[in-house]
């Protein structure tokens, strides 16, 4: 029996040789893809020539070299700046630059008007995770499903892929929602370390307790999701809001006693108090999601 012949790795272009762009280029080179790279500051791209990349002198030259073009630049404005006046006709532009959902939608319309197919991406990894299949890193993609299906194998080389819909804003929406949750989590982590810092508790002894506790609490998000989908925030309540708000007073008093500012906690505890004051003491804290909606009318 002979092995089924596999397609040769397709050539592609990467715009941007920053920390992330460089990691992407290396992963595709390691998998045998011919890579053309362009960077605004040439030295960063030239460093990759020794590893087998072809360095383009201009973004236009890089775009014309291959049908599949990956952009990984600082922000959406830098994508606009790099590609201003560049002919995108017939190109498949995959934008892995972090942006907002609106950036993704606007950039998709912009690329389509220039004759390109477009996918937006949100990278859920840091550079050392790129090209390491066991790292757990992945990229959210949204936009043309046909384009994603066509390039899925190539896109899967540097990191896992998660396609989240035709709406080109959805990759950024998922990316930023996860990053926002992470930001809140790290706010809590900072507060916790501040509480123990001046006591006889070694941060390195406390860290595993903290990591395990956050891991144990994380599955609570599934109940929140179920309550939101049912529109019933009293479904399956384990610790009701009245109890949680009473407990918050202890958190705030402890902060004061320990000489720690409660400024990372009070925006959240304040919203919990508001939802309680609106008569939802028997529910979970899920109603805070509603309070965050700008222009919301009270239920």
Q: What is the contact surface with ligand NDP in residues (CB under 6 A)? A: 16-21, 39-41, 44, 72-75, 78, 81-82, 97-98, 123, 126-127
75 or 263: CB nearest ligand NDP: 75
- Nearest distance from residue 96's CB to ligand NDP, in Å? 6
Instruction: Find the residue with minimal CB distance to ligand NDP.
Output: 18
* Spatial contact of 71 and 93, defined as CB atoms under 8 Å apart: yes
Distance CA 287, CA 149 (A): 38
20 or 116: CB nearest ligand NDP: 20
Identify the residue whose tokens are 């090209």: 131
Identify the residue whose tokens are 């630049």: 73
Distance CA 255, CA 257 (A): 6
- Nearest distance from residue 245's CB to ligand NDP, in Å? 36
- Nearest distance from residue 65's CB to ligand NDP, in Å? 17
Distance CA 45, CA 18 (A): 9
* Spatial contact of 29 and 51, defined as CB atoms under 8 Å apart: yes
24 or 192: CB nearest ligand NDP: 24
123 or 171: CB nearest ligand NDP: 123
Distance CA 264, CA 255 (A): 11
- For the chain, what is the total number of helices (H) and then of strands (E)? 12, 8
- Nearest distance from residue 80's CB to ligand NDP, in Å? 8
- Nearest distance from residue 230's CB to ligand NDP, in Å? 34
- Nearest distance from residue 176's CB to ligand NDP, in Å? 11
16 or 168: CB nearest ligand NDP: 16
Distance CA 184, CA 227 (A): 21
Distance CA 262, CA 47 (A): 47
126 or 225: CB nearest ligand NDP: 126
- End-to-end CA distance of the chain, in Å? 67
240: which 2 tokens? 């009701």
Distance CA 152, CA 20 (A): 19
- Nearest distance from residue 68's CB to ligand NDP, in Å? 18
């Amino acid at each position: 029996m002979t092995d089924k012949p596999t397609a040769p790795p397709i050539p592609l272009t990467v715009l941007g040789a920053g920390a992330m762009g460089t990691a992407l280029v290396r992963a595709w080179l390691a998998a045998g893809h011919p890579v053309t790279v362009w960077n605004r500051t040439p030295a960063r791209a030239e460093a990759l020539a020794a590893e087998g990349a072809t360095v383009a002198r201009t973004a236009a030259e890089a775009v014309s070299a291959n049908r599949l073009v990956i952009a990984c630049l600082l922000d959406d404005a830098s994508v606009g700046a790099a590609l201003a006046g560049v002919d995108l006709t017939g190109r498949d532009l995959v934008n892995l630059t972090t942006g907002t959902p609106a950036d993704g939608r606007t950039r998709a319309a912009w690329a389509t008007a220039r004759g390109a197919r477009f996918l937006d991406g949100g990278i859920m990894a840091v550079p050392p995770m790129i090209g390491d299949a066991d790292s757990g890193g992945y990229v959210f993609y949204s936009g043309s499903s046909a384009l994603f299906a066509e390039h899925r194998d190539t896109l899967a080389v540097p990191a896992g892929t998660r396609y989240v819909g035709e709406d080109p804003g959805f990759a950024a929406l998922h990316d930023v929602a996860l990053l926002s949750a992470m930001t809140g989590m790290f706010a809590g982590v900072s507060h916790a370390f501040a509480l123990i810092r001046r006591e006889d508790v070694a941060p390195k002894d406390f860290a595993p307790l903290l990591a395990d506790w956050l891991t144990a609490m994380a599955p609570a998000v599934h109940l929140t999701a179920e309550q939101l989908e049912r529109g019933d925030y009293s479904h399956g309540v384990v610790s009701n809001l009245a109890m949680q708000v009473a407990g918050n007073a202890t958190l705030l008093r402890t902060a004061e006693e320990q000489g720690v500012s409660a400024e990372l906690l009070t925006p959240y505890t304040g919203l919990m108090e508001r939802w309680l004051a609106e008569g939802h003491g028997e529910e979970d804290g899920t109603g805070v999601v509603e309070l965050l909606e700008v222009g919301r009318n009270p239920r």
